[in-house]
Chains A and B, each alone.
Chain A
C-alpha cells in the first residue's frame, strides 16, 4: 500500500481559548502500516499536539476512543480508515457535554450505570468453593458481560438524549439484565422495582440505534425486552 492522504473535518473546542466550537479542515499523510482511524488520529496529533481525544488499548476492549464518525458512533481503533468516506467528519459523542474537542463529560452516563447496582448480590454466606453454575446458565450471560462501557449506544439513543437524567439508557439496562440473568444473583425483585418507572426502563421505544452502533455486536434492545418480559411475568 502506498502513502495516502486522508482529509478530515473535526469538531474542535478548547474552552480555554475558543469562544465557541468550530469544525476544522485538516489532512494527514498516512504510513502504509496505518490501518485504523485511531492510527490516523495519532498521526494527526504528531502534527498538531492540541488535538484532544481519549485512547488507550487500541484493540476495542477498553472503550476509551468512542466518537461520532461520519454521523455514526463507533470506536476509532476498530474503524478501518480506508472504509470511510472523505472528508471524515469526527464529532464528540452526541448528547453529553463536551469538555474539549472529542472528549465528552461521561458523568451522566456512569451515573445511570451505577444506578442499577452493577454488582452481584448474594446474601448467603460465601461457600468455601465457587458457587456452581451450569454451562447453560453461564451462557445466559454471553452478549451481556462483554460490554466495554464506551457509551456508543446510550449516546446514539434519542430517549437518552431527551432524558439522560431519568432514562437509564441501553448500556445501563444491558448491565441490569446481566445481573438479572445471573443465576447466582438474589436481588431480582429489588432490581425490577428499581426499573419499574415510566422513565428508567420504559422510555426505550425500540428504535434500536444501540444495536446498530455497538462495536462489540451486543444487543441492548433484546436485553431491555427481556427485562420487560420479567416485569410482565411477575405482574401476573
Chain B
C-alpha cells in the first residue's frame, strides 16, 4: 500500500474540548498544526456534557480555589496528585473567563455575571455546605463550550483533517514519539503524520461497558494506541458510574438536576440519600450516590415491576425553573424515558460514564513513564490531555463539572508546553523509522484477508457484557478473577474479527474493527488493574475490603496509596507513588482522612 507522508510541527489527535483548546494555543502561536478527528469537531462527545464547568468565581456564593482543591482531593479519595489538582483549581477562573470572552453563551445572574449552580461533592469551607461553583449554559454546557471552542478555531484558521481516524503511534528506537498513522475515511488511504510534537486528546472509552452514557465514538483510541506502543496506562480500574443514566437507554441526566433541587427516591418514595450522606444528601459525590442507589436496588427497594431502578424527582420544582434551567433534560426524559419530568419522576440507574485513568501525564500535559528510576520521566514529543489522559486530578473518583475543567486547563497547558518546547528548539523532527507504517498496514491487511472470523459486533458485545458483569459498581474477588480470564479470551477472539465489507470508501465496518482493538486494550487494563487492587477506594469498591477502624471505607493507605501502571505487553502491573505535595510551597497538603459527605 502506498503511504503518503505529511509533515507538521505538531499533530493533535481528537477535536473535542481538550483537542480544540490545545489547537487554539498552537494555531495562535503560529505552529504548523494538523488536527485529526474521526468526526466533525462539533460531533465530539464533549458536546453531550450538560451540567457545567467548575470554577470558584464566587458569583452567587462565597468561594475560593482552596475549597475547590480540598473537594477535588477528597473526591479523588486521595489518589489524585495534589500538584496537578492545585494547578487545575487555581487555573479554573482564567480558562472559564477566556471561554466567556470567546463567546460561550453562559446563563447569567441578575447582575450579568456567569450563572453558577451547586453540584455533587462541591462544598463551601472544606465540606460544610453546598457551594454554587458550576458555571452553566442551561443544561447544554458541553454543547455551548464545544461550539465556542470550534468557532474560535475557525477564527484562528486551525487546519482540521475531518473524518480521519488515527491508527497507531509512531515511536523510534529511543522511544521518542514521531507522529501517528491515520486513515482517511472517505478514501481508505493511510498516511503518516510526521511531527515534532504529538498531542493525544482522544477522549474516554466508556464503550467498554454494556450500559454507558457514552457516544458510539468513545472507543479509547488514543489510550489503545498508547498501550500498543508500550506506554503504560494509569489507574484504569477507576471508572465512574454516573448515578443518573435513563434506565434502559443509558442516556445521561445531568447531576445539575439534583443541583437545581432534584431528589432521588426509592420504591416507598423515601429520600434515601439522607441515610447515606446526611450532610450533602443527593449532592454527595458520584461514587457514593451510585453505590447507595445500587444498594437500594439490591436490597429490594428499587422501583418499577422489576424493582431495577430508582426515581429522580423534580415534580416539586416550578415548571418555569425546569424550562429555563433544564430544558434539554426535559427533552431527553420525554424522548428516552417517556415521561415529562414536570409531571412525573424519571427512572434512573447508575451507568458507566467516565474514565478516571488513562495515559499518564504531568500537569504540563507531558506524557510520563517510569525510566531510569524516575517514575515520571517525560516521553519526548508526546503530550496528552482530557479524558484520555491521567494527570491525575480525578484519582479514584471525579467530581461532576471537573471534566470540562480538566479539558480546558490541561488542553491549554499541553498546548502551552508544546509551544514552549517548540520555541526553545527542544523539539526536533527526528527521522522516521523505515517501518513507521508497518504495524498499521499489517492490521489493515489482516482485516482484509481474514476468513472464518467472528463478527466485530459479537466480540464487542461479549466484551461489554463481561465488563458489566465482572467490573461494575461493586466488585467481588471471584468475579474479578474470572473476569481477567474472560477478557483475555475476548482479546484473543478480537484478533480474528472478520469484516464482510471490504470497500475502500467510508467503511464503517473497518472503523469499528479498528476501534475494537483499542477498546480491548482498555478492557484488559481495567480488569487486570481492578483484580490486583485489594482495597476499596473511590469508584473501586470490593466486598472483601469493608469499612473498618484501620481501613476507613475499606481504604488501605498503608498498602494501596499508589497509582497503578498497566503494560499491555505481558499484562504486567507496576505502581508509582501518589504526589501528596501541592505545587506551591505555601499551599498546605490536604491530609488523609475518612471520606464522608
Contact = CB atoms under 8 A, between A and B. Distances in A.
Interface of A: 14-17, 33, 35, 45-46, 48-64, 78, 99-101, 103, 106, 110, 114, 117-120, 122, 126, 128-135, 137-138, 141, 145-146, 148-149, 179, 182, 184-185
B47 interface: yes
A119 B507 contact: no
B91 to A, nearest CB: 15
Interface residues of B, number: 61
A213 B584 CA distance: 55
Contacts of B328: 61
A234 to B, nearest CB: 23
Q: Which of A48, A120, A149 has the most CB of B within 10 A?
A: A120
A130 B103 contact: no
Contact of A130 (B114, B216, B217, B500): B114
B270 interface: no
Nearest to B218: A56
B503 A62 contact: no
A99 B186 contact: yes
Contacts of B148: 120
A177 to B, nearest CB: 13
B43 A56 contact: yes
B448 interface: no
Nearest to B336: A59
Given A49-B499, A100-B505, A59 B251 contact: yes
B71 to A, nearest CB: 23
Contact of A56 (B39, B251, B252): B39
A145 B147 contact: yes
B43 A146 contact: no
B455 A46 contact: yes
Given A46-B457, A50-B503, A59-B336, A114 B154 contact: yes
Contacts of A48: 500
B108 A138 contact: yes
A51 B512 CA distance: 13
B175 to A, nearest CB: 34
B45 A130 contact: no
B514 to A, nearest CB: 13
A46 B137 CA distance: 38
A134 B505 contact: no
Q: Which of A46, A59, A129 has the most CB of B within 10 A?
A: A59
Nearest to B498: A49
Nearest to B335: A78
Given A33-B248, A49-B509, A50-B503, A133 B112 contact: yes
A17 B502 CA distance: 10
Contacts of B249: 35
A168 B58 CA distance: 42
Given A61-B47, A149-B42, A131 B505 contact: no
Interface string B324-368: 000010011001100000000000000000000000000000000
B505 A132 contact: no
Nearest to B99: A130
Interface string B101-116: 1110111111111100
A48 B499 CA distance: 10
Given A51-B508, A59-B332, A118-B151, 13 more contacts: A52-B507, A57-B47, A57-B215, A58-B251, A61-B140, A61-B328, A120-B103, A130-B114, A132-B108, A133-B112, A135-B109, A148-B143, A149-B42
Q: Which of A49, A131, A179, A182 has the most CB of B within 10 A?
A: A49
Nearest to A136: B108
The 6 A-B pairs with the shortest beta carbon distances in the complex, nearest first, are A120-B103, A132-B112, A50-B501, A49-B509, A119-B151, A62-B43
B500 A62 contact: no
B113 A56 contact: no
Interface string B265-296: 00000000000000000000000000000000
Given A114-B154, A120-B102, A16 B113 contact: no
B126 interface: no
Contact of A119 (B98, B152, B335): B152
A119 B39 contact: no
Given A49-B456, A62-B39, A119-B151, A57 B103 contact: no
Nearest to B509: A49
A175 to B, nearest CB: 9
Contacts of A132: 108, 111-113
Given A14-B505, A33-B248, A63-B43, A134 B457 contact: no
Given A56-B215, A64-B39, A130-B113, A16 B103 contact: no
Interface of B: 39-40, 42-45, 47-48, 97-98, 100-103, 105-114, 137, 140, 143-144, 147-148, 151-152, 154-155, 186, 215-217, 248-249, 251-252, 328, 331-332, 335-336, 455-457, 499-501, 503-509, 512
A120 B151 contact: yes
A6 to B, nearest CB: 18
B455 A129 contact: no
Contact of A64 (B43, B108, B499, B505): B43
Contact of B101 (A52, A99, A103, A122): A122
B70 to A, nearest CB: 24
B1 to A, nearest CB: 16
B142 to A, nearest CB: 8
Nearest to A32: B248
B158 to A, nearest CB: 12
A4 B117 CA distance: 44
B503 A129 contact: no
Contacts of A50: 500-501, 503, 509
Contacts of A138: 105-108
Nearest to A141: B105
A152 to B, nearest CB: 14
Contacts of A119: 102-103, 151-152, 154-155
Contacts of B508: 45, 49, 51-53
Contact of A14 (B216, B252, B503): B503
A196 B126 CA distance: 57
Given A78-B335, A130-B113, A148-B143, A57 B48 contact: yes
A16 B147 contact: no
Contact of A60 (B111, B335, B500): B335
Given A50-B503, A122-B101, A148 B42 contact: yes
Contacts of A53: 508
A10 to B, nearest CB: 14
Given A56-B215, A131-B101, A145-B144, A49 B455 contact: yes
Contacts of B509: 45, 49-50
A31 to B, nearest CB: 11
B216 A56 contact: yes
5 contacts: A99-B505, A110-B40, A119-B155, A126-B101, A132-B113
